[in-house]
A and B are shown apart, each in its own frame.
Chain A
Amino acid sequence: MSYEMLQTIWFILIAILWIGFYFLEGFDFGVGMLLPFLGKKDEERRAIINTIGSVWDGNEVWLLTAGGATFAAFPHWYATMFSGFYLALFLLLVGLIIRGVSFEYRSKNPDPKYRNRFDWMIAIGSFLPALLLGTAFANLARGVPINENMMYTGNLFTLLNPYGLLGGLTTVAIFLLHGANFLSLKLEGELRERVNGFAKKLWIVATILYVILGIFTYTAGFWARGIVNPGIVPITAIVVLLVAGYFINNKMEGWAFIMVALNIVLTQVTFFTMTFPNVMISSTNPAYSLTIYNASSSQYTLTVMSIVALIFVPIVLAYQGWTYYMFRKRISTEKKTLVY
């Protein structure tokens, strides 16, 4: 296979990993953020956690694999982005650390104060990564200061511009909505009613933010800066989000979940098409941008990694999909059925 073809394939593969991560961890970040607000009693909180208990860790591996694949296939992209977004990533890691530990530790002591503290750590640990990833991706679309040596020359505050923050908040809102939809599929009884109420309100906030972000992206010229025009993909993304509102208000939970999930997927597709073949746009000088061509590994490494991915990605997808099937039942708040 030609070198350019391999570079394109790996760009697509990394895009797929991010899409998978946003789709999967998107709802479990949402569930995490909703936890202290939605669950009033301890059994309720445990039931909420158990909706994602068996899958959140596997979902998070999509992020680690996206990171690892970027390192292997586009070392310069990995190096520039990870060192450039240093403090943002540090905060993201702190979020993931306190969140991951809290899932395991929160029920290890019956003291309500102890459990409450960990539940808040889950919420904060879900909020921080959602906010920071949204901010980071918005900045990637906007362009960040990169010099001729592929070095990021800004700092944390460079990322905290209005567009970046809007991207962050929109991501938080969409993930909250996605999480609420997921919960309405997984919970039952009073808790399910409550989360459906949450979803209605969240849909309004998320839709408003999303539309503003779309208009901002279009008018500021962050639109098609690569060689591909995303065309109707972003329009469809807005349409499915609007349609989701209809389903949410008519208690068609499955369809609501699918529509918001589609919105997330299409948004990521838009992001990756509108920057392609750039992977990091330089706001200093477009000539300094990192592209799939100047940031990639050698043809040999890409070939080897393609073979590895071809063998193992289907296996991973199969068993991860199977676990969702295994744990497809709704979770009751009845104490004796809860796993702690």
Chain B
Amino acid sequence: MDPITLSRWQFALTTIYHWLFVPLTLGMGWFVAFMQTRYYQTRDETWRKMAKFWGKLFLINFAIGVVTGIVQEFQFGMNWSEYSRYVGDIFGAPLAIEALLAFFMESTFLGVWIFGEGRVPEKVHLASIWLVAIGSNLSALWILLANGWMQHPVGYVINEANGRAELVDFFALVTNPKGWIFFWHTISDGLATAAFMILAVSAWHLVRKQNVDFFKRSFHMGALVGLIASVLVFLGGHTMGQYMYETQPMKFAAIEAHWETSAPADFSIITIGDLSGKREVWSFRTSQIGIPGVLSFLACNNFSCEVKGVDELQAEAVAQYGPGDYVPLMVVTYWTFRIMMTFGFIMMGAAAWFLWNTRRKDYENAKWMKLVPFGALFLPYLANASGWILTEMGRQPWIVYGLLKVEDAVSPNLTVLDLWISLIGYTVVYGALAVVMVKLMVKYAKAGPDAAMHESVDVAPALVGADD
């Protein structure tokens, strides 16, 4: 493999891996902060235990998100030095601000939260978990503003003298709608992911009749927040689609396997392409079940507007940027979108179903409780990964849309050997981390709230003395 391909694989691997852990961090922080606040207000011991138990799972997950995040910040320079030179004047700013505003806040106050109980005033301890939650979500905002700029560059000029892009309007960068829609989609997705984690773990205990009050309260919270959050995720996604139609029409068309410009445009339910991914072999579209214009609706909220097709957009791009292939890998964009969307809809339905059933007193005895909440846990994870792959692959061949191609962004000094060493190295380290982390999550999730009050779930409370 050539250096570009290896760098791309490495970026994909490290980013998707990082993104497996981050949504839970983003969402679970709010849950824990809320629970601890309820304890502070009510002095109800169950709230305290809830904050402790879900807080333990939060911490086990948090550690991996943090350490894999460091790799993210460094590898722009390490693997994509030409990118860094070309857009560093703009892209570096949100990254530096992310470190200054968000990383310091979340890591400093996480330390206070873990070690501060009984050492700092209770109000300060409570404030620290809120600051952790705010800090991690602020971090998401700044990195998404940075990514939003890559998808839809604003507030810059090309400086002819030194041949790079330079920032001229910081306000445009921080108000880029692309970034804010990403942020909306992402933080609600974080909440949904955390909600489904809570639902799955709670159901496991409820089926076994352990800590029923504790886990019922958790399950109700999970169902309610899960429903609200997944609706917000959907609305954010819909808004994102419409903005994409305006700003990244090629991505929009590639996601829908929409080859030919049409008005009204038809939505594909299933399309099978040929092996090159450039041609349609067979498709089944909404018009065939009597609802035409669905894609037009997705693009602009009416059933008849024109949606440009891949072929026309390719011709336009060639005219604008010169010869080349400007179509993303459609088999990936098309299917990741369908996985994400389908799973998102199932999540909405599942959360509504769970919430509906909590009206019954003995829902924990229902048969579906044994498998459904646990199975549903895989939905947000697969949807998260798909969404991330979609947004990055849909931008190809560009690293900054319309400005710089991925092939021109890679570090020219790296050898194939360098890249194999790091790619294999990350794979091994990340693989081992995943094994340890999942084992610990399962162990602590199964051990339940009483064990979470102590040092380690394997140590009997009598041996420990104090509860932390």
Contact = CB atoms under 8 A, between A and B. Distances in A.
Given A97-B67, A301-B89, A78 B77 contact: yes
Nearest to B115: A54
Interface stretch (A107-115, A212-220, A229-237): A107-115
B81 A100 contact: no
Contact of A94 (B87, B167, B418, B425): B425
A327 to B, nearest CB: 7
Contacts of B413: 83-84, 86, 151-153
Given A101-B433, A109-B456, A300-B168, A68 B111 contact: no
Interface in B40-89: 59-60, 62-64, 66-68, 70-71, 73-74, 76-79, 81-82, 84-85, 87-89
Contact of B96 (A79, A93, A151, A305): A305
Interface in B404-423: 411-415, 418, 421-422
Contacts of B76: 71, 78, 82
B388 interface: no
A257 B364 CA distance: 59
A82 B93 contact: no
B371 interface: no
B100 A308 contact: yes
Interface stretch (B102-110, B255-263, B395-403): B102-110
Q: What class of interface size applies to chain B in its complex with A? A: 35 or more
A54 B117 CA distance: 12
A40 interface: no
B120 interface: yes
B122 interface: no
A104 B70 CA distance: 16
A17 B98 CA distance: 15
B465 A54 contact: no
B103 A64 contact: yes
Contact of A151 (B71, B412, B457): B412
A5 interface: no
A301 B455 contact: no
Interface stretch (A187-195, A196-204, A239-247, A311-319): A311-319
A101 B414 contact: no
A82 B78 contact: yes
Given A58-B111, A82-B78, A297-B92, A68 B429 contact: no
Main SS class of interface, B:
helix
| Residue from B63, B91, B421 with most neighbouring chain A CB atoms (10 Å) | B63
B99 A326 contact: no
B452 to A, nearest CB: 11
A72 interface: yes
Interface residues of A, number: 72
Interface string A140-175: 000000000011110100000000000000000000
Contacts of A94: 425, 429
B71 A97 contact: yes
A94 B425 CA distance: 8
Contacts of B96: 65, 68-69, 71-73, 305, 308
B116 interface: yes
B166 interface: yes
A55 B104 CA distance: 11
Interface of A: 50, 53-58, 60-61, 64-65, 67-73, 75-76, 78-84, 86-87, 89-90, 93-94, 96-98, 100-101, 103-105, 107-110, 150-153, 155, 297-298, 300-301, 304-305, 308-309, 312-313, 316, 319-320, 323, 326-327, 329, 335-337, 339-340
Given A65-B104, A96-B70, A107-B456, 19 more contacts: A50-B115, A53-B115, A54-B115, A55-B111, A57-B108, A58-B104, A67-B99, A68-B100, A75-B85, A75-B89, A86-B413, A86-B418, A89-B78, A90-B425, A101-B433, A298-B159, A298-B166, A308-B97, A327-B116
